[in-house]
Structure 1
């Protein structure tokens, strides 16, 4: 959850890495382009996204 606006981050899966620290992610219902500038993420990784910015990479369980 974002401490400044109280919105929650969305868990998505990286399906493609693009130039300029961007990635295409699968939200479960659509695909979107997000920034991965703040996290190390690869194809297949699950990440948390808030406001179009990846904020964390989730560990595989």
Structure 2
């Protein structure tokens, strides 16, 4: 983790696969932006879509 200013930092990390990073940063419960790699941005978008759809389901 590298500080940028008093309120932000840059997190550099790696994992066995991109989905591990998606879950890991989501569980941190903080706001974040992803800059690279583009594939990670896509995976986060896909997970967000699935979670959004799940939040709209009705009990069955």
Same topology, TM > 0.5: no
**Higher normalized contact order (CA 8 Å, seq sep 6+, divided by chain length):** 1
TM-score (norm 1): 0.23
TM-score (norm 2): 0.23
Structure showing the higher strand proportion among its residues: 1
